[in-house]
Chain A
């Protein structure tokens, strides 16, 4: 399976990918994007099995990415990995079709818990 990791921080993309492997998904292949615009290009060209997206990013935020995908009829699984934990933002994420929202800093175990539900 392929996972698209979307974050404007290269450091955080590395951390997320390492945490996914540490969560037991060590055969997953990763694709990276630095914002929603780049992510849309990747998804339209070759849809991954899951998108792990930051919320606050330049050019196109994570929630804008999700809304754009759903407006196009794309039901790809999208989970947010973000420093945001605002209940209103969480509600917006789920109303917009997010599979989960996990707050930074996270542990491989907390990531494993949400991935287990989404990838089951």
Chain B
């Protein structure tokens, strides 16, 4: 998988988030603002996917108010309803990423990249790039909601 390949995977991930935003969160869709490799300091849910050539993590992150809005969208709540507890919000964000992972996996399977899904985790703060791990970030808006779509992948895969 080349760096260009990872860019394609990020595009597939953006497409998966867009698909779930409209079908499960009641949002009008996704627009990409910018793409870069500097992970933002946000709250986010992440899920690992393991394939024959390595593992990646996908993530969806936002500010606390954004996570509340996404979680309420999944739960079918209106923005005016009282905020969810932090635990409820984290649980709902993890479920959103779980559903996104299913859509992402389907897209990649169609291009002969079978993956197995792990369990989601909720993280507060920035995911750090290392010598071995790179992070691709797409800053997006979901409706009028700013968020970030993240793809964490091994650096050795870049030249493979």
Contacts and interface: CB of A to CB of B under 8 A. Distances in A.
Interface string B98-122: 1101110110010000100111000
Contacts of A10: 88, 91
A56 B95 contact: no
Q: DSSP class of A's interface residues: helix, strand, loop or mixed?
A: loop
Interface string A50-71: 0000001110000000000000
B119 A11 contact: no
B6 interface: no
A85 B71 contact: no
Interface size class of A (residues with CB under 8 A): 10 to 19
Given A18-B76, A56-B117, A83-B98, A104 B24 contact: yes
Contacts of B23: 105
B149 interface: no
Nearest to A11: B92
Given A84-B117, A105-B23, A11 B99 contact: no
Contacts of B91: 9-11
A15 B99 CA distance: 13
Interface string B42-71: 000000000000000000000000000001
Contacts of A83: 98-99, 101-103, 117
A8 B91 CA distance: 9
Nearest to B118: A56
Contacts of A57: 119
A107 B99 CA distance: 14
B117 A105 contact: no
18 contacts: A8-B119, A9-B91, A9-B92, A11-B95, A15-B76, A56-B117, A56-B118, A83-B98, A83-B99, A83-B103, A84-B102, A86-B105, A86-B109, A103-B102, A104-B98, A104-B99, A104-B102, A105-B23
Interface of A: 8-12, 14-15, 18, 56-58, 82-86, 103-105
